[in-house]
Chains A and B, each alone.
Chain A
Amino acid sequence: MSLRIMFKMLQRHALMPTLVMLQVALACAILCNVLFLVWQRVQPMVAPSGLAEDELVLVDQIFSRTHTFSAAEAHAGQLALAHTPGVRSASSALGLPMIGMVMVDYNLKSPKGVTVGVNGYFGEGLVKTLGLQLVEGRDFLPSEYRDFGITQQSSDVDKPSSPEPVIITQSLERQLFDGQSAVGKNLSVTDDPEHGYFVVGVVRHLLRNQLTLATDGRGDNTLLAAKRIGDTALLSYAVRIDPAMRDVAMHGISETVKRQFGAEMGEDAQVRIATYAQTRHEALKSQRAALWLFAGVTIAVILVTAIGIMGLTGFWVQRRTRQIGIQRALGARRSQVLRYFMLENLLIAGGGVLVGMALAYVANGLLMHYYELPRLPWNYLPIGGAAVLLLGQLAVLAPARRAAEVPPVVATRAI
């Protein structure tokens, strides 16, 4: 049967196709946006961390209300942890992957004027302790580290006039230097233009700790600064262990922390000692909760749409039983009837998908305007659209099969 006749049919009985189209359009708009939101949440979960994940233990929130830890105490803690059985190296650090409690925030600016927002990690020997893969340049020299603490932050301390060495990631190198080697090049920050930085090394990956921003190629927007932890009220350590001696090391680390800092922390100590995997699990809790929610929405939308299409098409098939019988009596084959209903659904759903894609785009525009969401990339639209079309075809299969089963003899009966 030609498409023209099909259109005529649809026009004559406009209510049913309109309702199917409306459902498909809404489902398509919702699914496109949910798909996009899901991808926003999934990216931080799948981004490469660049760390020696199996060997990393993070010690966080060594905190005292009454006592300020001095640079010497921070360093003593680092030494004691490094000499714990099963531990390969330890670094006193400020800002650690998957720990959002303390975040260091830079607006880096390249000589060409490209600006990128990055997170920074401070600490002595972090390249080795975190197990980062250096692909260009070198690690910091021991002489390059400067103390960073309350004393150094005070306004009466002069800032160093020479540029400060930093290590960046390959992704940052691409963004800031257009694919050219970054080693030896200068950088500045927009908040404090007089203070300069220069790149000494480049690592393959290093995941930032502001996880909500680890999307759209920004996951590796991280730098290491040559800073040693000075006097502070809040200490944290990265510890790299021998994975074969995990239990020994974990126990040893806990004992060492208690011995070194137990007295100052007092009774309500909130220190957290956890492997990287545990910390990551905890940090991604809200992302996972959101994913469950989106999964629920997706399933509900699919169910409701499928049932809707099935119900309406089923009713329509029933209404036209007699016509189908006549067609069959006139020589139409079962497969032709089946194909007719499938094609009809494709046509209606296609119209719905077109409307739905426009709707999705408009909805995303509104969401982007009111909430901090990036623009829906156009390639989500055909993906969502195709998914909805496929859903429509699957849903229509059962009623179309029923239509194909109508015997030709129905044409001779009066219903």
Chain B
Amino acid sequence: MRYNLMLAWHGLKRFPRSTILAVLTVAMGLAATMTTLALLHQLTADPLPGRSGHLYLAWVDTVRAKPLAIQSLNGINPSNYHRIKLDDAQEMLHEHRATWQAAMTSVYTEMTANDAVHPHVKHAYLLATTAEFQPMLGVGLRSGRSWTAAEDAARAPVVVIDEALAQELFGSIQAVGRELKIGSHEFQVIGVSAPFSPQPHFYDLSAMSFSGSRRDLAFVPLGALLDAGVDLAGNDGCDEDAPKKRTMFGTDAAHCAAVSYWVDLPSKAQVDAFGDYLQHYAANQKALAGFGKPPRSELTGVGAWLSKQNVVPDNVRLNAWLAGSFLLLCMANVAGLLAARFLRRGGEIGIRRALGAPRVAIFQQHVFEASLICLLGGLLAWPLTLFGLWTLRLQDNGFTDLARLDPSMFGALFALALAVGLLTGWLPAWRASRVEPGLQVKSA
């Protein structure tokens, strides 16, 4: 085997021109495939490893309005209702049927640090939520603490801020005890959190999905934020008897479905029990009678939620398919190049066979040669892939700043290169091993 490997290495050096051509072709195919796959890999990765498996989005339909018969011909699919009204969220929080549960919504708003050396205004996303978000999502704390359910109930103006925001506003991550103005109220900083940026931003996709640069920079009790006069963004429908709207973009939290309700349910039995509970909850909404709505509820896991929302852009998958078929073409091409070079040395193969080398040895030698070419191609594809990802990052599509090659994809690159080598080498090597010893020796 070592001898065969050595022969394969010598074979490579024999026809440098066709070797270079084959290596280049393989490298191009591999680089194209790996660039698209690396992006796809980043976009389809588990947003919260270890936790997302038992997180569920709970939805009950309690909006007092006629069900909309929406059938859009314009490619906009508005049927992905997932938010609930604040009152229902509070009721469900109070009944506390899951291990952890929290209502949440991301809001883009203005924050002012008045007690900083220079008053500093920052526009950023913050997450308006309830006490259990911290253990449920596993938001890390650098210092201080998160708030309690009692503080939620008292609508206490407290805030947990991201370390990057603390650094920017207060010049230090030791920001506990400082004050931050959000809306019309002063909020006391009680904790500083580690960067929390699951990809995608699955718990509120209407604010953002993939972003390498933006994340929720503060966590605030929902009730206190509403008290401070900050409007929630967007809703999934409002009661028909709601009072008049004040602004175009603001949402009346009391009458509109505006918060996502996430629960943590570690076991199958709990999931079933919570599903039943939700359906009962919807069925008990007497006020809905008269709007012709059947009681509707849904409990959706993170994976199902992300695929339903179609968060990975179709283009990314399409490009991966395109690159994959290009790799196939490159493989066919290299198989041809290899077949030509193997048969060109039919004479030598004949002599080796005549001297007693078994077919397997010939086959092995040539498969090795093919694999070596493809591994070299893989090596060359590495910088090419990095270049491809760099050009992807240059395009500002929101998600492209995530295009990076992580160690597992680096391993995958060489695994793929080897697989390509074995696959493309197989047919030409088999053909080479069929060379009849006698015929070749005679003609040579």
Residues of B1-35 at the interface with A, using a CB-CB cut-off of 8 Å, are: 18, 21, 25, 28, 32
**Using an 8 Å CB-CB cutoff, how does the interface string of A206-239 with B read, 1 for contact, 0 for none?**
0000101100000000000000000011100000
Q: Are B337 and A107 in contact (CB under 8 A)?
A: no
**A133 close to chain B: CB less than 8 A:** no
Is B287 close to A, CB under 8 A? no
With an 8 A cutoff between CB atoms, is B178 at the interface? Answer: no
Q: Are B322 and A304 in contact (CB under 8 A)?
A: no
Task: Pick the interface stretch among A20-28, A124-132, A273-281.
Answer: A20-28
Q: Counting chain A CB atoms within 10 Å of each CB, which of B319, B322, B428 scores highest?
A: B322
A19, B25: Cβ atoms closer than 8 Å? no
Q: Which residues 291-339 in A have Cβ within 8 Å of B in the complex?
A: 293, 297, 300-301, 304-305, 307-308, 311-312, 315, 319
Question: For residue B244, which residues in chain A have a CB less than 8 angstroms away from its CB?
Answer: 151, 154, 156
* Distance (whole angstroms) from the CB of B309 to the closest CB of chain A: 15
Q: Is the CB of B339 within 8 A of A16?
A: yes
Q: Which residues of the other chain, A, contact B281 by a CB distance below 8 angstroms? A: none
A315 to B32, CA, bound (A): 28
CB atoms of B318 and A305 under 8 A apart? no
Chain B residue with Cβ nearest A106: B74
Residues of A within 8 A of B74 (CB): 103, 105, 107, 117-119, 210, 213
B4 to chain A, nearest CB (A): 22
CB nearest neighbor in B for A290: B315
The contact of A300 among B28, B69, B71, B248, by CB within 8 Å, is B28
Most B-side CB within 10 Å, residue of A118, A213, A286, A304: A304
* Residue B72 CB within 8 A of the other chain: yes
Give every chain A residue within 8 A of B315 (Cβ-Cβ). 290
Shortest beta-carbon distance from B429 to chain A in Å = 12
Q: Which of A27, A115, A268, A319 contacts B73 (CB under 8 A)?
A: A115
Please pick, from B240, B329, B340, the residue contacting A304 in the complex, using a CB distance under 8 A: B329
> How many angstroms from the CA of A19 to the CA of B424 in the assembled complex?
11
Interface of B, helix, strand, loop or mixed by DSSP: helix
Q: Do residues A297 and B339 form an inter-chain contact, with CB atoms below 8 A?
A: no
Whether A15 lies near B71 (C-beta < 8 A) is no
Q: Which residues of B contact A289 (CB under 8 A)?
A: 395
With contacts A105-B74, A153-B245 taken as known, whether A372 is within 8 angstroms of B314 at the C-beta atoms is yes
Give, as a whole number of angstroms, the nearest-CB distance from A307 to chain B: 7
Residues of chain A within 8 A of B248, CB atoms compared: 68, 150, 232-234
| Pair B329/A286 contact, Cβ less than 8 Å | no
Asked if A367 meets B329 with Cβ closer than 8 Å, knowing A150-B247, A210-B74, A304-B28, the reply is no
CB neighbors of B among A78-126 (8 A) = 103, 105, 107, 115-119
The size of the chain A interface, using a CB distance under 8 A, is 58
Report A-chain residues with C-beta under 8 Å of the C-beta of B319.
293
Residues of B contacting A297 in the complex (Cβ-Cβ under 8 angstroms): 322, 326
Does A191 interact with chain B (Cβ within 8 Å)?
yes
B344 within 8 A of A: yes
Q: State how many residues of chain B have any CB contact under 8 Å with chain A.
A: 51
Q: List which B226-260 residues lie within 8 A (CB) of chain A.
A: 240-242, 244-249
User: CB within 8 A of A286: which of B317, B318, B397?
Assistant: B397
A311 x B18 contact (CB < 8 A): yes
Query: Is B223 part of the contact surface with A, judged by Cβ < 8 Å?
Result: no
Cα A30 to Cα B29 with chains together (Å)? 14
Q: Which of A16, A107, A156, A293 contacts B71 (CB 8 A)?
A: A107
Interface assignment of A29: CB less than 8 Å from any CB of chain B = yes
- The answer to whether A312 and B73 have CB atoms under 8 Å apart is no
Quick one: closest B residue to A309, CB to CB?
Answer: B336
State in angstroms the CA–CA spacing of A36 and B18 once bound together.
Answer: 34
Closest A residue, CB atoms, query B123: A268
B73 touches A107 (CB 8 A): yes
Cβ distance B18 to chain A, nearest Cβ, rounded Å: 7
Chain B residues within an 8 Å CB radius of A300: 28, 32, 326
A308 and B336 within 8 A (CB): yes
Q: Is B335 an interface residue (CB 8 A)?
A: yes
Residues of chain A lying within 8 A (CB to CB) of residue B332? 19, 22-23, 26, 308
Chain A residues with CB under 8 Å of B329's CB are 23, 26-27, 30, 301, 304-305
Instruction: Say which residue of A33, A153, A210 sits within 8 Å of B75 (CB atoms).
Output: A210
Roughly how many angstroms separate A33 CA and B336 CA in the complex, as a whole number? Answer: 24
Q: 7 tightest CB-CB pairs across the interface, nearest first?
A: A117-B73, A315-B340, A308-B333, A117-B74, A19-B336, A233-B248, A26-B329
11 A-B pairs (CB sep. < 8 Å)? A22-B332, A105-B76, A107-B72, A190-B71, A233-B248, A301-B326, A304-B25, A304-B28, A308-B336, A311-B340, A372-B75
Q: Which residues in B have some Cβ–Cβ distance to A below 8 Å?
A: 18, 21, 25, 28, 32, 68-76, 110, 123, 240-242, 244-249, 314-315, 317-319, 321-322, 325-326, 328-330, 332-333, 335-337, 339-340, 343-344, 395, 397, 427-428, 431
Beyond A26-B329, A115-B73, 11 additional pairs, beta carbon < 8 A: A23-B333, A26-B325, A30-B322, A107-B73, A151-B244, A155-B240, A190-B71, A191-B70, A233-B249, A304-B329, A371-B314
